């Protein structure tokens, strides 16, 4: 006849196992906490060193140029690249210690998650660099377009410049998101449809609104070689000496003062040129 197990032995064995597991867990927990503590100290040291190095080499000057962009000023955000780089370095180094600490505790799910973050950070850094470069290029193009519109006396130069800025910035954002590993197929399709609609609407509306300006600009290409400052001409029974010719207007000095004509009259009206 089989003997029943001794209850005392069962309880004692169970208690010993609990003590052993608790002791092992406590040891692993203390080890993990020590690793985390060392990680915090190491990460802070690495962060401070990088911050001083990047401040010394003048990387913050790039951030100052970014802060001068109008879009950045409107949000009231101050970009200091040495601070951003040092923070990224802190968390990047810290993640390695957290992976080791999670392995020490025997939690592979957490260590795998931290490992994925380590792999993701370089992509985020590359995407951020692309964003900063996109901001620079977008602002340069905006200023170029605004200056070009001013030279042609186009009143809506700032609006056109801002449209160019937003267009280039959106392209940079989509490219940066793609670099970060985010699927941008739907975003790209929506962006293409939106841009096509905006361009079509803008072209039709602006074409009607700026018809006279465009005619003056076109006239300037044909008329500047025919007429020069100092010549005496007559337009619509107004006789005077040419004081100046710009991209859209011609200014005559007449007996009563100065008369300004749009350049398109040189093509559409009868002009008499007098030999001095």
Q: Tell me the C-alpha distance between 263 and 242, whole Å.
A: 12
Residue 42's pLDDT is what? Answer: 93
Q: How confident is residue 166, by pLDDT bands cut at 50, 70 and 90? A: confident
- Is the pLDDT at 1 greater than 50, yes or no? no
- Given a cut of 60, whether residue 222 has pLDDT beyond it is no
In b/e form, how buried is each residue of 182-219, taking b as 16+ CB within 10 angstroms? eebeeeeeebeeeeeeeeeeeeeebeeeeeebebbbeb
Kindly report the number of other CB atoms within 10 A of residue 85's CB atom.
Answer: 18
pLDDT of residue 44: 92
- pLDDT, residue 217, reads 58
Task: Say which residue the tokens 């001013």 belong to.
Answer: 150
Average pLDDT, stretch 38-44? Answer: 92
**What does the pLDDT look like over 56-70, one tens digit per residue?**
887 777 777 777 777
Please tell me whether the overall predicted TM-score, pTM, comes out greater than 0.85 for this model: no
- pLDDT exceeding 90 applies to what percent of the chain? 5
Q: Indicate whether 52 pLDDT > 80.
A: yes
Q: Classify residue 266 by burial, with Cβ atoms within 10 Å: 0-12, 13-18, 19+.
A: buried
Question: Which tens digits make up the pLDDT trace of 228-266?
Answer: 787 788 887 788 887 887 767 778 888 778 888 877 777
């Amino acid at each position: 006849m089989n003997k029943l197990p001794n209850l005392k032995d069962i309880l004692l064995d169970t208690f010993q196992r609990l003590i052993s597991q608790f002791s092992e867990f406590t040891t692993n927990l203390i080890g993990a906490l020590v690793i985390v503590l060392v990680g915090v100290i190491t990460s802070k040291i690495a962060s401070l060193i990088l911050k001083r190095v990047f401040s010394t080499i003048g990387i913050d000057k790039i951030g100052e140029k970014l802060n001068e962009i109008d879009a950045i000023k409107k949000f009231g955000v101050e970009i200091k690249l040495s601070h951003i780089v040092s923070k990224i370095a802190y968390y990047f180094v810290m993640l390695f210690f957290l992976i080791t600490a999670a392995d020490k505790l025997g939690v592979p799910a957490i260590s795998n998650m931290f490992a994925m973050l380590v792999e993701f950070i370089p992509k985020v850094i590359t995407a951020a660099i692309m964003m900063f470069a996109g901001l620079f290029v977008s602002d340069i193009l905006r200023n170029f377009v605004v200056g070009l519109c001013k030279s042609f006396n186009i009143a809506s130069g700032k609006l056109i410049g801002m449209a160019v800025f937003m267009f280039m910035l959106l392209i940079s954002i989509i490219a940066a998101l793609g670099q970060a590993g985010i699927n941008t197929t739907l975003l790209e399709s929506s962006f293409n449809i939106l841009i096509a609609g905006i361009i079509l609407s803008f072209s039709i509306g602006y074409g009607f609104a700026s018809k006279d300006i465009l005619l003056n600009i076109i006239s300037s290409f044909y008329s500047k070689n025919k007429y020069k400052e100092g010549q005496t001409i007559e337009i619509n029974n107004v006789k005077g000496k040419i004081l100046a010719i710009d991209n859209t207007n011609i200014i005559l000095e007449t007996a009563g003062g100065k008369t300004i004509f749009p350049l398109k009259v040189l093509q559409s009206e009868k002009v008499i040129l007098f030999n001095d």
